[in-house]
Chain A
Amino acid sequence: MSGTALMAANVFRESVRDKVLYNLVFFAVLLIVASYLIGQLTAGQDIKIIKDLGLAATSIFGLFIAVFIGIGLVSKEVERRSIYALLAKPIERHQIVIGKYVGVVLTLAVNLSVMAAALYLVLAYMRWVSPENVVRALEAPALDPAMLKAVGLIFVELAIITAIALFFSTFSTPILSATFTFGLFVAGQFSGDLRNFDQVVASPVAVYVARGLYWVLPNLAPFDIKAQVVHGQPVSAGYLALTTAYGVAYIAVLLTAAVLIFSRRDFK
């Protein structure tokens, strides 16, 4: 097994040991309780609301995993001084960074897969108990496979967040890394507004600055297709491919920068 794979497996094992997968229990309980409560509160929109809630919870739970594991990847090793033992092993520094990143992404993949499966199970149950006229009135099928497109883009978005957290973790403290990562996550949701800044501001300088930020900051808004899939609107393969390609390129930028910083860092 290569150094990178060893690191990845180790991070995954550690996250299991840290009870990260417990969030899956919370997720399942949330969906079951919500499906009961929503059934009492709404008229005919239960399945749609469960889809909204399930996809939003998938994204939020994943975000917390990505940020709170990501920010400690390197800084925790430094704090515990276990970095010295790690560096003494026959493993390259870039393998440490990439391996840790892959480990978190693997944790996220397992989490998201289980959450998606749980969501489909709850939806299957609700489809079974819903009257036929309610099911017929739905904009999209209860067990719409298109929801996997939304889950897929949530996964790529979380992979970017993890890369951001890891990047900050290579040179900053966990608290600052978390602050920066959440800050970029929020900014990334509004970067479309930066692109269209000329619609609200006349100053060419402000427009150029906003346009520059649009290209440099992570643009996370396109990864959010939850509303489209829930309403049964088509999301083309081209869109998915381009958005994913953007995500991969952006992750590559962040990982390269993280490797560069970590390789140059003096731990004496």
Chain B
Amino acid sequence: MRLTAVRPIAIGVVLIVVLMATAVEVQRVRDRSFPLRSIEDSSMYLTSPKTARRIALGYRAVAADVYWIRALQYFGGTRRMVDAGETITDPARRQYAALYPLLDLTTSLDPRFNLAYRFGAIFLAEPPPRGPGRPDLALALLAKGLAERPGHWEYMMDIGFVHYWWRQDFSAAGEWFQRASETPGAPWWMKSLAATTLAQGGDRQSARMMWEAIRQSAEIDWLRHEAERRLAQLKALDDIDALQAMVDRVAAATAQPVLEWTPVMRAAGWRGVPIDPTGTPYEIDERGRVRLSRSSPLWPLPADAPRIDQAPSRP
């Protein structure tokens, strides 16, 4: 190629680069002067599953994927803001109000979206501020999944988990575990889980057994990490019981309420304050009760979660 032919191209390319840089700079100035609004990802676009199914035409599965991704972003984004200590001004966002409608749309568009039922139920049941604290909606979502696939033992097991962990209705949980264990394809440990829950539901040992079973059988990292977190919470509950006994002993010995760790550390010969499984120090409140720090990734503990007073559904 001759030099005379190359020159106009080079000039053109340089011109494009300069003009593009100008466009970017003007945009930067405008964004600085008139800041962009943050992403309103709580907007639903469509709220009726029936309409969504019609509009999606032959692309329902893809539309379901889009809504599932939006549900994940909505839940994960809100949770990230909570974990980062950011103030969420929108009360609907604080209550994760769009989560159930997003999951409902997802599962209406693709009624066999297994993950949306199972993970969706976990998200919905998570107590505030790290979730909406709606085990009732978690049960409704799983019931929808079970209506679509009546022989799916995983949904029965998940319903049992919601009853067990979030509603502390151990007899309903045991009955659902029992039903799951009788379904073809259920793992062997389901029977022992059902038996343990029915016999001694509510004790930490059966809870530990339940989460250990999930941890070992989980095929997805997220679920395994969730089970590990729950196991760590159970460990924290054990720790708190042991520490409370120690605090009470020191208080009785000194005939004074214990409101800080120093006298306990002195009495027990510890070098530092006791820490939870994530490394966050435990706290003593103004009544001398040992508690988990609100800054701990394990907060709130299941015992602190609000109970739902509605009558639980039975299988």
Contacts and interface: CB of A to CB of B under 8 A. Distances in A.
A260 B26 contact: no
A184 to B, nearest CB: 14
Contacts of A40: none
Interface residues of A, number: 28
A177 to B, nearest CB: 19
B204 interface: no
A245 B15 CA distance: 17
B80 A202 contact: yes
A253 interface: yes
Contacts of A125: none
Contact of A215 (B9, B24, B76, B77): B24
Interface stretch (A29-37, A63-71, A105-113, A235-243): A235-243
Given A215-B27, A222-B30, A260-B9, A252 B39 contact: no
Nearest to A192: B36
A193 B34 contact: no
Interface residues of B, number: 27
A246 B29 CA distance: 10
Contact of A249 (B26, B36, B41, B80): B26
A242 B9 contact: no
Contacts of B31: 195
Given A239-B30, A260-B9, A199 B23 contact: no
Interface in B11-36: 12-13, 15-16, 19-20, 22-24, 26-27, 29-31, 33-34, 36
Contact of B39 (A200, A215, A239): A200
B33 to A, nearest CB: 6
Contacts of B244: none
B73 interface: yes
B27 A253 contact: no
B38 interface: yes
9 contacts: A199-B39, A200-B73, A200-B76, A222-B30, A239-B33, A239-B34, A245-B26, A246-B26, A253-B20
B85 interface: no
B272 interface: no
A212 to B, nearest CB: 10
Contact of B36 (A196, A216, A250): A196
A189 interface: no
A257 interface: yes
A250 B8 contact: no
A249 B19 CA distance: 6
Given A239-B33, A253-B20, A260-B16, A193 B39 contact: yes
B206 to A, nearest CB: 35
Contacts of A236: 34
Contacts of B19: 249, 252-253, 256
